[in-house]
Structure 1
Amino acid sequence: MRKLLGDIKLNGRRTIFASVTALVFSLSAAQSVVAQDRAGDFALLDQDGRFHHMAWYDNNKAIAFLVQASGDAATQSSLASYNALKEQYASQGIVFMMINPLGEQRDVVKADADSLGIDIPVLIDDAQVVSEALGIDKTGEAFLYDPKSFRVIYRGPADQSMANALAAVVAGNAVPNAVVATQGTAVAYPARDKLLQEGVSYSKDVAPVLAENCASCHREGGIAPFALNSHTMAQGWSPMIREVLMTKRMPPGQIDPHIGEFRNHYTLTPDEQQKVLQWIATGSVKDGDADPLAELTWSQEKWAFGEPDLIIKVPPQSIPATGVLDYIDVVVPLEGLDRDRWVRASQYVPGDRTVLHHTLNAFIEPGKRPSQGLITRFSDPDQAYITPYIPGADPHLEEPNTGGILRAGTSLALNLHYTTTGRETVDNSEIGVWFYPDDEIPTERRLGDCACIFTPTWTDIPAFDPDFEQTASITIPTDAEIMAFTPHMHFRGKRMVFDAHYPDGSVERLLNIAQYNYNWQMEYQLAEPKFVPAGTRVVVTGAFDNSEQNKANPDPSRVVPWGQQSWDEMFFGQVYWKEVKAATAISSN
C-alpha cells in the first residue's frame, strides 16, 4: 500500500489517485466492521449542545451506543431492548448514549428524541468522520466502545447478544461474540463518496484549511510548538492533526457552531474536516510542484496596526523559577499623553508569554489616588477600552465610529497574574495604543457588564463533583446591539452558555462554549451585532468539573472556594454591547 501511494505521488494522475483511494477506504471499511478494531478517541456534541469526549469516560468499563436516525424504524425497533439493557447495566460502569451518523439538524434530532422519550445523549456526527471511523453502516445497530483503548469491542443487535457482551465486560472478561449480524437502514456517506470520486488535493483542498486555521500559530516564532510551514511538516504531524480534529482539541477555543455566527469561531466546517481527514487517511500525499504552506509569509512586526501612537511600558517583573506568586499590582502613568485622545485600537504584547497568564486593568482619574479615582470601562461610558492580556487574545480594534476617551494625566492600574515555569525570567510587557485623529471624534461607545460571581454570593464547589453549575445575570438597560462575549473560569471550568431572556418572556441562546479551556479564553465576536430590546436579561450559566476525570484539576478532593489563584475558582461572563438610538432600534425591529 505504501508503494502504491508513492506511485500516486510521483504520477499525479487523478484517475490512479481515485482508484487507490477507493481501495484504501474499501480495506478500511472492511476492517472497521470487525470488533476490537481501534477507532480512536473522539468527541461530539449531543442534541442539547453538550460536549462529550470519550477519554473523559475512561473510568467506566465501556460506552454503549445505539445508531439513531430520526423517524427511523430500525432505531425505534431496537429502542425498547436497548433501554432495558440500560436499566440493567447503567449502574455497573456502562455509559449509554446514541449516535446520529447522518449529521441531522439538532432540532430534528432533539424533537425525535423527545417524542420517543429518549433521556440519554444523542451524539450528532455533523461531518460523519466519527461514524466512518467506528464502521457504522446501518441504523438500529448497537456498539460497545472501550474508552481506555478506543476500540470497538462489540457490534450487533441490542438483544441477548449485547446482553451477553455487557455481562462479559462487567465481569472483566473478553466478549464471546464480538460481531453479530444486524438488520437496519443503510447509512450513506455522500461527502466521502464524492471525495473518493474526485480525490482530495493537498494544494487545493488541505493546505488552504491549514493555512487559514492553523499556520498563524503553528509557524516559526508562533505560540504553537511546531511549524506547519511545508507539506513535509504537515505530513509528519498528520497523525497528531487527525487526533486533535477528532477530539475537537484544535483549533483551540472551539464553540458550538450551531449557536450564533461569530467572526472568530475557531471551528472547521464538516467539509473542511472531511477533506483533511480523508487526505490523512490516504497517506497525506502532495500533488503538484507548488507548496502553499511553504509560500506563506508572516509579518515580523510585533504591532498589529503599525507603530502605536502611544506605547505603555509595563514595569519589568522578575519572575522566579518556582513558587506561587501573588497577583502584582502596578500603576503606570501614561507619559506622552499630552491631551485627551479617543482610542481606536490597543494591543498587549507580553514580554514572556510563558509566565504571564492574564492581566486586568482600570484607569485612575487625573489628580486622584487609586482608592479614589479607579474607573472601570463599565462605570464610565465614555472611558476608553485598553485590552488586557488573556490566553489566545487578539489585538483589539474598535468598530467603525466607536471608541472611548483617554484623558491626559490618566494612569493605568494593572493587575498581573504570573505562573512559574521552572526557570527564572523577566517579563517586559508593552501595551500599544492607537488614537483617532484629533478632528475625528467617534460617536459610538463600546459598553459592557459582567455576569460575575464573587464572595459572599459564591457557592463553593463540592469535592469530586463532575458538573457543578453556577448562574449569574446582567440586565441591559437600553436597546442595544450585543457585540461580543468573554468567559473566565479556572482549571475546573467545563462549559459556559449565554442566554438572552427577553422582556416578552422568550429565551434565545446566544453562545455555547461547550468545551471551556482555561488555556484559551477568547473574546467571541459576533459576525453581526445582535439587537436586544431594553430590559433584556443575559443569563450566564457555567459548569465546573471538580472530578478526577478533569486532567487539569489540581485536587478533586478539595471543596473549591472563590479565589484569585488558579487552584481556586472564578466565574466571569462578560457581555459587550453598543447602545442603539431610537431611530436605529425602530429600523432593527
Structure 2
Amino acid sequence: MRKIFAFTASAFALSALTLSAEASPTYVDNFRLVDHERVSHELYYYQDAPAIVLMTVTADSDFSVRAIEALAELRDEYAAEGVRFYLINPDATETRTEMSDAMAAAGVDMPVLMDARQLVSESLALETTGEVLVINPRTGFQLAYRGPVSGQVDGRGRTPYLANALDALIAGDNVEMASVDMRRGDSVVLPHANTSLHQSISYAEDVAPILVERCGGCHVAGGIAPWELADYETIQGWAPMIREVIRTDRMPPYFPDFDHAGTFYSENELSPEEARTIVHWIEAGAPRGEGEDPLLDALEPLPEWPLGEPDYIVEVTPFDIPATGILEYEYPTIPNQMEEGRWLRATHVRPGSNQGVHHVTSGYIQNRNAAVDEIEGNLPSGSVGSYTPGQNPQEFHEGVGTYLSPGGAFRFSMHYTTFGLEETDRTQVGLYFHDEPPELIMRSTVIGDSNFVIPAGEENFHITSYTLFPADAELYTLYPHAHYRGKRV
C-alpha cells in the first residue's frame, strides 16, 4: 500500500493515512494542453512560479463543482504570490463546450486543461475528481502534495493540507512529497493506462507505419528534419525526444483546432490513438519485437524538386549569413524575365541554408503598365510561395491560380538566423504554371500589426487586426506567424 510522506518540520506533518496501491509519480514531465477557452499551456513555461496547482475535474461530476469552488477561494488568496492554478479534465469524451458550461454553472474562471489523449492524466496517475496535485518548479517539477483541497474534519476542525503545502513552498522550505487519501470524488476512467498491454505494442506493425505516414515527409534524406527515419536503432535513440515532442504537441507541426466539425486539407496531425501508441511503446522501453524493420526501405530520398522540374526558377539574391548576431530581415526584389503572363498553380521554396533560413514569404509586384489582355481590371499582388521549416511544396486547388504579369517582379521577405557557422544562402523558388487560365484567382494578404509595445510584465497582451474583403471569397489557407512572443491565434 502507498504510505504518506511528510513535509519537513518547517512545514507541517501529516497523520498516518493509507492510500491506494497505485504508485504516484515523484516528478512531472513536461506537457502542453489546450484549455476549454482554446488557450495553450505548457508546464515548463511556468518554471518561475513558486508552485503550480492542478486539480482533476469533469463536467458531469457534482463533486468537481464543489471542489472547484473551494479551489477558487484559495486561488484568490494566493494570486498575489504567483501560484498558478489549473484544472485538468481527463475525460476524452467531454467537449470544451460541456466544460465551459460546467465552469459557468460554478461561476468560476479558471483554465481547464483538456487531456483528450489522456497521456498526461495517465502519467499523473489520476484516480478521482477533486484530487489536487501541487508541483514544485524549483526542484525540477517535483510533486510536493497530492490529495484533497482540505483534509477530513476532526475535533480540531478541517486540516488545510493544500494551503499548508503552498505556504511551505512560498516560504522556500525544503518540502518532501505529502499524500493524503481521497475519501470522496468520482472515479477517473483511463482505459488505456494498463501498462502490461503496452508491452504488446509492435514496432514493426504498429509504430513504424505511423512514423512513416505522419513524419516521413520531413524525416527523410533530403528533408528538412535534422534526422532521418532510417531504422529501428535511430528511433530507439530518439525515443525520449519523440515522447517529449508528442506530449508537448510540437510534432507533427500541425495545429488546427480539431474540436470543430469538418476535415482539413493535407491533415497531418496524430490522432489520439496514434499518439498513445507511440508514447506507450516508448514508455514500455521501445522494444524491437519481431518482424522486418519497415523503415529500412519505406522512404525514398526526396528529390530536389518533388513536383518535378519547375517551369521557371527564381534565384533569390544570395545572402552571406554570419556565424553570430541578430539579423534584420532582407527584402530582395527579383525582376520577372518571362515575356508573357502566366498563371501560377504550384510553388516550391527551397532554402539554400536549411539551418540559416528561418522563413520566407513572398509577393508579386504586377506590372501596371502591361496590357491586361483577357484579365479584367488590375490584379492585387499574390504570393509566389512561402517557407517555414517542415513546409512542403505548395499546390493550389484545382481551378485556382495567381497571375504573374510580364515585366513585374518577385519580392521576398527573408528571415535569417545565425547558428554558429558562416554560410551563404542561395534560396531558389520553383514555379509551376497552368496551361489554361483558372476559374478562380488566388490572392493573399497579411493581416497583422507591427506597431505595438508589449507592457513590461504583461502575460496576455492581445492584439486585433483585420482586413476588409471587397467581395465574397473562399478562404484556403491561414498562416499564423508570431515567433516566440506569440502564444495564441
Query: TM range, normalised to the smaller chain?
Result: 0.7 to 0.9
- Asked if 1:178 is matched to 2:182, the reply is no
Deviation at residue 73 of structure 1 after TM alignment: 2.8
Which amino acid is 2:281 matched to?
Answer: W
1:237 counterpart SS class? helix
Cross-structure match for 2:285: 283
Amino acid corresponding to residue 450 of structure 1 in structure 2: V
Query: Displacement of 1:123 after TM fit?
Result: 1.0
The superposition leaves residues 143-181 of structure 1 with CA deviations (integer Å, 9 ceiling, x where unpaired) of 112234222221111112222222222222244771111
* Cα separation, 2, equivalents of 1:488 and 1:177: 41
Which residue is 1:20 aligned to?
Answer: none
Q: What is the rounded CA distance, in whole Å, between the counterparts of 1:102 and 1:491 in structure 2?
A: 31
Q: Distance in 2 between matches of 1:73 and 1:123?
A: 18
Q: Which residue, 417, 422, 425 being the options, matches 2:423?
A: 425
Taking a change above 3 Å as real, the CA distance of residues 164 and 325 of structure 1, as seen in their structure-2 partners, is closer
Q: What is the SS of the residue equivalent to 2:320?
A: strand
Counterpart-to-counterpart distance in 1, 2:163 and 2:201: 42
Equivalent residues in 2 for 1:467-546, closer than 5 Å: 467-496=460-489
Change (3 A) 1:460 1:291: same
Distance in 2, Cα, partners of 1:176 & 1:415: 53
In structure 2, the partner of 1:151 is 142
Q: CA deviation at 1:286?
A: 2.2
Whether 1:413 aligns to 2:411 is: yes
Correspondence for 2:244: 243
SS at match of 1:460: coil
Kindly report which structure 2 residues correspond to 1:162-241, keeping only aligned pairs within 5 A, or say none: 162-175=162-175, 178-183=178-183, 184-193=185-194, 196=197, 199-241=200-242
Change (3 A) 1:132 1:326: closer
The gaps in structure 2 that reach 5 residues or longer are 1-19, 151-159, 372-376
Give the deviation of 1:401 after TM superposition: 1.2
The 1:92/1:417 distance shift into structure 2, 3 A limit, reads closer
| Distance verdict in 2 for CA 1:79–1:404, change over 3 Å | closer
Equivalent residues of 1:42, 1:246 under 8 A apart: yes
Equivalent residue number for residue 314 of structure 1: 316
Secondary structure of residue in 2 paired with 1:243: helix
| 1:482 partner SS | coil
Contact 1:66 1:140 (C-alpha < 8 Å) held by counterparts = yes
Deviation at 1:367, TM superposition (A): 8.6
State the secondary structure of the residue aligned to 1:71.
coil
Residue type of the alignment partner of 1:406: L
TM-score normalized by the length of structure 2 = 0.84
Higher deviation after alignment, 233-242 or 106-115: 233-242
Give, in angstroms, the shift of residue 271 of structure 1: 1.0
CA drift at 1:427: 1.7
Counterpart residue identity of residue 77, structure 2: Q
Query: Would the alpha carbon gap of residues 390 and 162 (structure 1) be closer, same or farther in structure 2, given more than 3 Å must change?
Result: closer
Deviation of 1:274 (Å): 1.2
1:346 is aligned to 347
Between the aligned partners of 1:45 and 1:327, the Cα distance in structure 2 is 32
Partner-residue secondary structure (3-state), 2:53: strand
The counterpart of 1:123, out of the listed 87, 90, 113, is: 113
Q: Return the offset for 1:471.
A: 0.5
Query: What is the match of residue 46 of structure 2?
Result: 57
For 1:332, the equivalent position in structure 2 comes to 334
- Structure 2 CA distance for aligned equivalents of residues 55 and 113 of structure 1: 25
Question: TM-score of the superposition, structure 1-length normalised?
Answer: 0.71
Consecutive unaligned residues in structure 1, runs of 5 or more: 1-28, 374-378, 497-589
Q: 1:570 aligns to what?
A: none
Q: Distance in 1 between the 2:137 and 2:40 partners? A: 15
1:229-250 per-position Cα deviation (integer Å, ceiling 9, x unaligned): 2112112211111112112222
- Provide the identity percentage: 34
- The alignment of Structure 1 onto Structure 2 pairs a total of residues equal to 452
Is the contact between residue 41 and residue 147 of structure 1 (CA under 8 Å) also seen in structure 2? no
Residues 357 and 419 in structure 1, CA contact (< 8 A), matched pair in contact too? yes
Q: Which residue does the alignment assign to 1:295?
A: 297
Structure 2 residue identity aligned to 1:486? Y
- The answer on whether the counterparts of 1:44 and 1:123 sit within 8 Å (CA) in structure 2 is yes
Choose 468-477 or 78-87, whichever is displaced more: 78-87
Cα pair 2:365 2:408 within 8 Å, conserved = yes
Match of 1:107 in 2: 97
Opposite residue 397 of structure 2, the aligned amino acid is E
Determine which structure has the larger strand proportion and give its number.
1
Please give the alpha-carbon distance, in whole angstroms, between the structure 1 residues aligned to 2:325 and 2:194.
Answer: 56
Preserved CA contact (<8 Å) 2:221 2:228? yes
Q: CA deviation at 1:31?
A: 6.0
Matches within 5 A, 1:420-459: 420-437=418-435, 440-454=436-450, 458-459=451-452
**Residue 56 to residue 413, structure 1, CA distance change in 2 (3 Å):** closer
- Give the conservation status (yes or no) of the 8 Å contact 2:199–2:284: no
Aligned counterparts of 2:236 and 2:393: Cα–Cα separation in 1 = 32
Change (3 A) 1:467 1:167: same
Match of 1:533 in 2: none
Contact 2:223 2:302 in 1 (8 A): no
Contact 1:364 1:413 in 2 (8 A): yes
Residues 76 and 174 (structure 1 numbering): CA distance in 2 closer, same or farther, change over 3 Å? farther
Instruction: Specify the alignment match of 1:40 in structure 2.
Output: 29
**2:177 and 2:425 mapped to 1: Cα distance?**
61
Taking the aligned partners of 2:241 and 2:406, their CA distance within structure 1 comes to: 51
Shift of 1:198: 9.5
| Aligned 8 A contact 2:363 2:383 in 1 | no
* Alignment counterpart, residue 85 of structure 2, candidates 91, 96, 112: 96
In structure 2, C-alpha distance between the alignment counterparts of 1:385 and 1:200, rounded to whole Å: 45
